[in-house]
Structure 1
Amino acid sequence: MTIDYREKIEHSQVYAVARHTPLDEMPNLTMRLRNRVLLKREDMQPVFSFKLRGAYNKMANLSQEALARGVICASAGNHAQGVALSAQKMGCRAVIVMPTTTPAIKINAVRARGAEVVLSGDSYSDAYAHALEVEKSEGLTFVHPYDDPDVIAGQGTLAMEILQDHVEPIEAVFCCVGGGGLLAGVAAYIKAVRPEIKVIGVEAQDADAMTQSLQAGQRVMLEQVGIFADGAAVKQVGEHTFALVQQYVDEMIVVDNDEICAAIKDVFEDTRSILEPAGALALAGLKAYAERHQLQGKTLVAVASGANMNFDRLRFIAERAELGEHREAVFAVTIPETPGAFKTFCRLLGNRSITEFNYRYADAKQAHIFVGVSVHNPAESADIQRTLETAGLHTLDLTGNEMAKLHLRYLVGGHAPEAHNEVVYRFEFPEKPGALLNFLESMGHNWNISLFHYRNHGADFGRVLVGMQVPPGEKVAFEQFLKQLGYPYFDESQNPAYQLFLG
């Protein structure tokens, strides 16, 4: 039997727990993209995610007998909280099976809603298998996170709100995709009411099950998925959702982690709210789509699908946001190990702001530098590489190298037996172009720099660790240099961490 999703969505019962969320304009991003960007604020739901819409609608359509027996689901995130809140509202039993690796903050959030938490297995698939066993043994009703018509219809109610709140033309609506419930519900409703509006799904590059399935013409099972956007990390999309996406969705966009981080920053700058990675997928896709199609003057809507962010991820997100906006380029550069070579390298970069610098003396012939530079666009990155190569410095662009960005940047170093008479100092540089070059010009001596680490942390000063080879007879001149420099400094030569790992 064919399901009339427009009618099903319009009669969905979600507002006992869900709220009609705002459709907010993003003024800064609107100005930058030259398109009107609207954000559907599902991060403002009671559980900070759209997931409670589908969970409650599914449960509201259960019989009294089924509700009396209770419900069960497998989830480590937003769906778990949606089911727990819905069960609390209805006064029924809810069992949530979560992997044993689930952070305590998520377990406690579900228990706070009155649900029973069962920990099983190390992964979602383990928890899911156990949930199906408990469902049968205890006669509970399974509430699927996405592949259920009632769940799909519940998620589709946010599309109804978008069209109610914005009756003027809309070019496209963007939704994040995990299992496909949100995208399927939104697409089914919009195409029934305003078919001229494009509906676009957005997936993470390392979790693109829907994109691959559409290309193959059938549901594809991914061997593994990336977990950065964990709220959308699904190995296989649903049967119901895939059929609806095939029928109604205009296009899929795939974005990388850096683009997701940039979108999180965009939302913060316009709203002072922090989305989780999956919650920012839609906006990342919107930006990529607008650039790809060179849109101007259009109205574009992105669903901010969730804000259940682990606080410890913010450091990584801040690090990667500039890369996602193509405002930072990262290079590995080989320079000759001769006095003045470091200064020459900095002069080649000109007045560009250096965002990161890792350097360690290796041998008497050459040194390898890991450097981040502020740029305006990818073309400027190519210009920098050409400039360095023309000067005879072998240069490798690492901006798109995931391993380098995740690990190598923090591992440039080690013991250097040939770095004799090394002293190590910590400096606080003013955060402005030219501060590094001023430091090098002020040295005025042929003291070899044997270690250098700098990172821009977004403050008004930068923290720098420098190792220099200063012969004993030049200590007085070195101390004079420190006093004249004018930057705060701290002697770290006897720091046990330096002695252990770098000395």
Structure 2
Amino acid sequence: AGASLRLTDGMDGAFELGMRLADEGLTLVHPFDDPAVIAGQGTVGLELAEDAAEDLTDVVVSIGGGGLISGIAAALRARRPGVRVWGVETAGAEAMSAALTAGGPVPVPLSSLVTTLSAPTVSRLTYDHAAKLVEDVLVVPDHEAVQGCLDLSTHAKLWAEPAAGCLLPAAREILSRVGPGAHLGLVVCGGNTTLAEVTGWAERFGLG
């Protein structure tokens, strides 16, 4: 399609390169620090509000830079204000939970295999949304995120990346907090992984 691709070794390098190219005059379409992007991602929340049963109590969303959960939480607060929204990160990709602890965005070291959640920091915009609208942010180890991928494939017949696999262990923790009568909605996002990657991770962690 005529695009010029610039590859980096990691997510932090990709963000640095993007900022540098913007300084050189290119237009940056930021993946999360943009009100229009957040509003677009908020249409997921509108669909949940319209389609989910009336007994929906909680929605679980994975977090990278926080754009998706910001949009979903804003939409649900407007349409279904009684629904709680929970965030999930993986250990080594904890930009939002670190920000909530610090009282604002802070840079974090990245070590999670879940690169699609590995933003080096959240933005003030997404932090403000999460601080106001999100019940809590849970952190899941990588091996549980990979097990979640296997479980989704086996039991739900869904192919998902670890950024969505992490939702299952988080959902179990949420149920233990709010009680078994809760009805959870999971935003199973993305397919940015291959069979070889998932099976390789499963072997590394000794997962069945």
What SS does the aligned partner of 2:19 have? Answer: helix
> Greater relative contact order: 1 or 2 (C-alpha under 8 angstroms, separation 6 or more)?
2
2-structure distance, mates of 1:226, 1:307:
20
1:312 to 166, 187, 196: 196
Task: Give the Å deviation of 1:264.
Answer: 0.9
2-structure distance, mates of 1:216, 1:127:
24
- Given that residues 280 and 305 in structure 1 are in contact (C-alpha distance below 8 angstroms), is that contact kept between their aligned partners in structure 2? no
- Given that residues 11 and 119 in structure 2 are in contact (C-alpha distance below 8 angstroms), is that contact kept between their aligned partners in structure 1? no
Letter in 1 for 2:187: V
Matched, 1:183 2:77: no
Please give the residue correspondences for 1:39-118 in structure 2 after superposition, counting only pairs within 5 Å: 114-118=1-5
Other-structure match for 2:114: 229
Other-structure match for 1:267: 152
Task: Give the Å deviation of 1:240.
Answer: 0.6
1-structure distance, mates of 2:181, 2:16:
49
Unaligned regions of 5+ residues in structure 1, if any? 1-113, 324-457, 459-503
Matched, 1:123 2:10: yes
Task: Give the Å deviation of 1:279.
Answer: 2.4
Other-structure match for 2:91: 205
1-structure distance, mates of 2:22, 2:156:
41
Matched, 1:164 2:50: yes
What SS does the aligned partner of 2:87 have? Answer: strand
2-structure distance, mates of 1:273, 1:226:
26
What SS does the aligned partner of 1:190 have? Answer: helix
Q: Which has the larger radius of gyration?
A: 1
Letter in 2 for 1:270: H
TM-score, normalised relative to structure 1: 0.39
2-structure distance, mates of 1:257, 1:275:
14
1-structure distance, mates of 2:22, 2:120:
22
CA distances 1:366-401 after superposition (whole Å, capped 9, x unpaired): xxxxxxxxxxxxxxxxxxxxxxxxxxxxxxxxxxxx
Root-mean-square deviation (CA, aligned residues, Å) is 2.2
2-structure distance, mates of 1:321, 1:268:
17
2-structure distance, mates of 1:294, 1:131:
41
TM-score, normalised relative to structure 2: 0.89
Task: Give the Å deviation of 1:206.
Answer: 1.7
CA distances 1:267-311 after superposition (whole Å, capped 9, x unpaired): 112332321111222233112222x32622321011111112133
CA distances 1:202-237 after superposition (whole Å, capped 9, x unpaired): 010221121121122121211x21231110011211
Letter in 2 for 1:193: R
2-structure distance, mates of 1:141, 1:209:
25
2-structure distance, mates of 1:121, 1:167:
43
CA distances 1:128-156 after superposition (whole Å, capped 9, x unpaired): 3333343344x432100111100111111
Please give the residue correspondences for 1:275-290 in structure 2 after superposition, counting only pairs within 5 Å: 275-290=160-175
Other-structure match for 1:397: none
Task: Give the Å deviation of 1:320.
Answer: 6.7
Q: Which has the higher helix share?
A: 2
Aligned residues: 208
Task: Give the Å deviation of 1:322.
Answer: 7.2
CA distances 1:5-47 after superposition (whole Å, capped 9, x unpaired): xxxxxxxxxxxxxxxxxxxxxxxxxxxxxxxxxxxxxxxxxxx
2-structure distance, mates of 1:308, 1:122:
16
Q: Could you list the runs of 4 or more consecutive aligned residues of structure 1 that deviate by over 6 angstroms after TM superposition?
A: none
- Given that residues 155 and 185 in structure 1 are in contact (C-alpha distance below 8 angstroms), is that contact kept between their aligned partners in structure 2? yes
CA distances 1:236-279 after superposition (whole Å, capped 9, x unpaired): 11111001111111111111112112211221123323211112
Other-structure match for 1:243: 128
- Given that residues 204 and 255 in structure 1 are in contact (C-alpha distance below 8 angstroms), is that contact kept between their aligned partners in structure 2? yes
1-structure distance, mates of 2:130, 2:178:
25
Task: Go from structure 1 to structure 2 and tell me whether the alpha carbon gap of 1:190 and 1:179 turns closer, same or farther (over 3 Å shift).
Answer: same
- Given that residues 11 and 115 in structure 2 are in contact (C-alpha distance below 8 angstroms), is that contact kept between their aligned partners in structure 1? no
- Given that residues 55 and 183 in structure 2 are in contact (C-alpha distance below 8 angstroms), is that contact kept between their aligned partners in structure 1? yes
- Given that residues 283 and 304 in structure 1 are in contact (C-alpha distance below 8 angstroms), is that contact kept between their aligned partners in structure 2? no
1-structure distance, mates of 2:9, 2:202:
29
Matched, 1:174 2:43: no
2-structure distance, mates of 1:160, 1:283:
22
Q: Which stretch has the larger CA shift, 204-213 or 115-124?
A: 115-124
Q: Which has the higher strand share?
A: 1
- Given that residues 11 and 120 in structure 2 are in contact (C-alpha distance below 8 angstroms), is that contact kept between their aligned partners in structure 1? no
Task: Go from structure 1 to structure 2 and tell me whether the alpha carbon gap of 1:261 and 1:155 turns closer, same or farther (over 3 Å shift).
Answer: same
- Given that residues 265 and 321 in structure 1 are in contact (C-alpha distance below 8 angstroms), is that contact kept between their aligned partners in structure 2? no
Unaligned regions of 5+ residues in structure 2, if any? none
- Given that residues 91 and 112 in structure 2 are in contact (C-alpha distance below 8 angstroms), is that contact kept between their aligned partners in structure 1? no
What SS does the aligned partner of 2:40 have? Answer: helix
1-structure distance, mates of 2:2, 2:26:
14
1-structure distance, mates of 2:102, 2:14:
29
